[in-house]
Structure 1
Amino acid sequence: MTLRQRFQQSDRVELLPVRTDKITGVLYTRLTDILRVFPDASFFRVNGGVLYYLEDENEQEYEPKRIAHHPDDTIDVDHQQLLKQLVHLLQEQAEAKERDERMLAELAAAKERDEEMLRLQRQTIDRLIVAQQRVEAILVQNYELHEYPIPRLFVILPDSYERWDPRNFLAERFRLFFLCECDDHCDTSSEQLAKHEGYELTRPTDFFDQYGPYVLGTLRILKHCLAVAALVSPAIALADSSAKEVMDGIKSLSESTMAAVELSIAFLQKKLDGDAVADVEGEVRTDEQEDEDDMFRELAALEGADLRRLDTFLRNKDTDKILGNLYRITTETGHVKWVCFDHYRQVYRETTMASFLQSVESNGGVFEAHLGKVTITLKSSLAAKDFFSRLSTQARAVTSLKVSFDWSFGSTDLVMLVDKVAQSNIRDFELDLMERSIIGRIGSLLRPGKGRYHSLLGLLSNPKLRGLAFIHVDFIGPRTSDLPASFRSSLLQSFHHSGCIAELDDTRLAEIITHCPHLVDLRLGSIYWHSLDVPKVDRAIGTLTKLERLHRYHLFCDTTSDTNLSNNTAPYGDTALRELVDTSLPYPTGPASPLEVSLRRSLSTLEVLMLQSTRNNRTLDLTSIISPTLFYYADNVLFSRLTHLEIILDMTPASLDIMSSLLPSLALVHAGFGKNASHLITRVNLQFLKSVHFQDVATTDIEQFCHSVHQSTTCNMESIRLLRVPLGLELSRLLVSLRLRRLFLDEPIRGNESLDDLLKGLNVSQLEQLLVDSVEYNWESEAVLASRSDEFTDEFVLHLPYATKNNMRDVHKSKTRDMQGSSTRLARHQVRVLDYDTALREYNSRIWPPSHG
């Protein structure tokens, strides 16, 4: 018989199963089990005494935390927030009582009527508070800022509810509306529809299959709040004019919107229950006493993978990325909210930002108000001092900063930067020191520990920072000193070091990782250039107990001997990952290899998987991860959360068969394959696909993929990267037909078409980013683009890696050179010459999930 422990909170009593420690035999209840039943549990009592969590032989609390078993007692569950709410409720009741007494004195002749109104007021406001608390429980998840790239609360309404015909569902049009997440930090008490025309859905049936329960939950909340506004407003108008203003926001929606909400609820309830929808309109529920538990039954917070797929259903997307006219803010407790402009101004007063924004604009920077992000390049020490001074005193609304230093800065500039960032409200910081040449660095390299980078380690102790990224911060090892023994553990949840990592950097980076035990997101190495052996970094990764996202770019050179590597190292950590990117794969593959162990652990959690290797002896064998029994009886749920999949390495025949069977069921947003797996591109579900990467893919496979896209009615491709792929007629036809936003032509192979032929026919109506790395790019290619410059969008940018630039010297050095007007016309758009690593990083930043290194 299973032992159970009795827990009680208020009048609620639950029996929870008791666990047994496999070593000591001690009976206990795990905290995670308790939180599933009592989400608000904070601490526990037995017979009036407080219970402490069990400790191991080292006097350290177990993880997950444990409560000792008390077989003869009932454990009381307490929550500090309940006490605060009780105090707040008592204060509200006291204020309401005072208002009641004044109103009764003034309205003695209508005493009975007024008392009834006030009773309804208290009842409905209490229900509204419950609704607000339930929504808050969903939104207070403390993830990184990049976990919420778009708003999380939204509803779906018919485009025209007056002409709604439930018998002809497939012909109806629906719109998605985002909700303002205003709450305790604003002056209103409920969610509101954002002031926006909404977004038409491209595939309503598929959308409701994916998000139906979530939409039903948010619609019920919205309906509940609207009903409260309609019922309470008359009583509030009599009782308190200031309280009336509180309710004006949620009553602002028209009666027609209320009808559309009710119609959508009825339709979704029918659809999710599997019933016919023919009689939906006649069965709209009007019961305002709907049980709150039922109302929130379907509502659950969306994960990052769900949000990334949401964008694929929207027809009229925002080119400026301001979804629903909402702005992202960060609360004092570090939580992310998306609010309307009115509430944004209430939180961050515009007048205090005016001087700071002027400084940003004068330095050519950009402030994305909806994200609270500044991107800026500073060109002098004086400009840096002015900018950071204003940042620390005038820019509370700025929570994310990407800054580049484009001058010969000194160590005092970095000291100033660290101090001012600590005084600001920055939580996500990216620093690009733009040092791309070893010339001029030799002096600092000869002085280990005394270089000008040392002060940057002070960012690790910044208690506000949750995300830190270093770009072109090379030779960090010789330019810094050891962290002091008294150094406190960093609170960083995300750390990126984008660049070549040498052996001299290994020890320092391993030390940094070890001092950041809360890391959830770790990204190291160069996208393109190979690094040297870094075994200490790998061992440090193995110590991270909260790791969810790991990106490893060429941390080992291709000549690293397998005999120098041990499978006992844990380069992927010991946790189930949500993102795994490895472009070096240094460790030998096999059933017990670190890679297979990590993949097996992460089968049900992975959202991003990218594996790439140039080594001939690295072969992925999925049969060591997915047994035939598990595969055939799992109803294809394996890797079901994947949104980004890229495999550029050899796979066993059995693995190719398994992946071929899985791909049609995966809702991939991005897919990439190499030569060995090129035929898999024809198995990808095109419904969600927005970007592809093909490397050394055979012409026949490319042609089949192009044919599938031409035949598809749901494909909405936006980005394509082609690496050493023949430019055939079918591929050219595809690029002409698609309205791409991004295209990367990476060492294209001349087939039936030349590069110039392709550029002549390319559809550029929405093109924002064109990257060309090819020996064929020359003056004629430049002339082709220049002749079409009037067709480019205002956002168009041409990226040319240095290798391409060297093939046509001086093409972009002089923008006044005529060349029949070609360069002059093209110069009206941005033309950037970059190193390959930066060019690829900028392309990937639009393709992969937010903060991709």
Structure 2
Amino acid sequence: MAQESHSRKSQTVKFRDHIVDIQTVIINGIECLRLRDVQLRFDTVRAFQIDNVQQAFVYDETGKNSRPLRIVARVDKVVEAVESMKHSSNDTDDQLNRIEGKIDRIDNNVQEIMCRIANVMRQMYQLHEYTTPRYFFILPAKHSDIKAIDFVQNWFQTHYKLYFLCECSHDPKEMHVAPHEGYSIKKGRDFVVKYAPYLRTTLQIVQVLLSVGGLVIPQLGNAARAINNAVPSRFQDPKYYKDMQQQLEMVDNLLNKVDNQRNHAGASVTDKQKSEGTPLQGAELREIQTYLELVDDKRSLGNLYRIVTDDGYVRWVCLQHYDDISFNNEMSKYINEFEAMGGKFDQKTKEAFINQVNITSKNVEMMCKALGKGFNIVKLICRECSIDEDDLEKLLDIIINRSSIRCLNMGSIRVRNFFGITKYTCQEMVAEFNNQTMKVRFCNNNQ
């Protein structure tokens, strides 16, 4: 067995960009550098070389490497520690993986930026195009007999009124008539001929609404009742529904006759395709106002208000849904800001989670504003965060007195003083709020 004795000499060893001195040992009278001593500093090293020549480990008379693995020290030279190609390949793979991860993150950021640009461009286009509500239909102003339109010359003798629909949903079954008495149509024959293709599409929406009893605003509270008072009485009387169905059939027959006249007149293929319900463009929508009598001075057609959704689309909605959509857009903005500061929010459970975040005064200001405006968080969990003492007091005041939070769970929260130095650490605290009572537990003790 080899006899080892330690000396104070050392061997200079280079590994990659690192140069260190490692103590040598005397084994059987020979000064050596042991592999295991080098591996304590650089665990992937498998061999040594001097002047680009790999050094053989000390071996016995049979050619078998002696234990421990070692080379003869060359204190006058720098020994280069070498790792196996396998480990080098693994390091290269790790570097490539890190590069690919960075590329993925950059690509995701680019995609997010492109989506934002697309939303802005869509919003700019829609704001320019849709300065008039898009969904409207017509009905005879008074009860009329279907036979009244049997002849083309009788089209203009029937007095029609135009009604707008509130664009409160992409689902036609959830739309409703705008809270307005309707507009009398001038040049009824010209209007019907021009807009017949589009009226056919909106007529189908109204027929669906009538079939599900959803033509009027759903009764969701005082605001809905107030708006419903402005809806024409003919749409609120259940007894009128059957008569309205007949009036819709009359309009449907009228549109059929317009199509027949267009076909007899030799309409082009383009005109026929348009008659299948091609959406109206901005100029055509804006022209509608020239056919209406007594257009509102405030240009809020049908008492509808234009709003932009958070995905960049323009809608025309009643006052009730205007408030609802504005509120939802505002809440979406707060959720995005909360997640931008490092938090996570589950919209199903209404639980918010903040982990390992340095909560700044700006973050606290945003959270206080959001909670005060109705950001609905039921449970707030904070873990391993830091916050200034004054900011913590502000946040707790809002949480306790002006928020929907029912449970606050804090653990390992470092509270800083004015100078930014940790004053104390809240190891564990759970606060539960119920009506006007509050229960607080510190380290499983009720207080």
Q: Structure 1-normalised TM-score?
A: 0.19
Larger-gyration structure (1/2): 2
Q: Structure 2-normalised TM-score?
A: 0.35
